[in-house]
Amino acid sequence: MSAEAAEGGGPSAVVPAGERGATRIADRVVTKIASQAAREAVGRLPKDAARAYAHVVIRPQAAEGTTVEAARVRVHVELDYPTDIGSRCAAVRRRVVERVGALVGMEVPEVAVHVERLHPAPGQGAAQGRTR
């Protein structure tokens, strides 16, 4: 290592984190990631089913002298029925938190999952009558 680099003036000098700048992730990017994560968690649905979609609100939060953004996500999904709706919604929440955290590095303290519609599972068509 050269004397210039050791003094912080050379090309290989390490710049302190507070002086490097910031990366801003657009809300729509987080929205697309959350939507895709919800689709992955829900799995395959009938062709006439609407796709999962998300709405993301990003708010800055102060953490140790820096600004960290956290996303509050509202996801709308369609599920097959019969199913354990609670566990499916929990799986969607886990997947959204995992994927947004891994791909964007953003905290997701809240994921609200809204079930828009239930579809009969394959083999549970209308020919079998009502489910009680």
Per-residue pLDDT of the chain (132 residues; tens, 9 = 90+): 555 545 555 566 788 766 777 777 788 888 889 988 988 888 876 555 556 667 777 776 655 555 667 888 999 888 888 889 999 999 999 999 999 999 988 889 999 999 988 888 777 655 555 555
Cα distance between residue 121 and residue 84, in whole Å = 12
pLDDT of residue 71: 85
Cα distance between residue 81 and residue 38, in whole Å = 17
Residue 48's alpha-carbon distances to 1, 26, 44, 51, in angstroms, are: 63, 30, 11, 9
Give 17-59 as a DSSP string.
GGGS------HHHHHHHHHHHHHHHH----TTSPPPEEEEEEE
Domain locations along the chain: 22-120
Architecture per CATH, 22-120: 2-Layer Sandwich (3.30)
Cα distance between residue 130 and residue 132, in whole Å = 6
| CA atoms within a 13 Å half-sphere pointing along the CA-CB vector of 2 | 8
Entry pTM: 0.70
According to DSSP, the residues that pair with 119 across neighbouring strands are 80
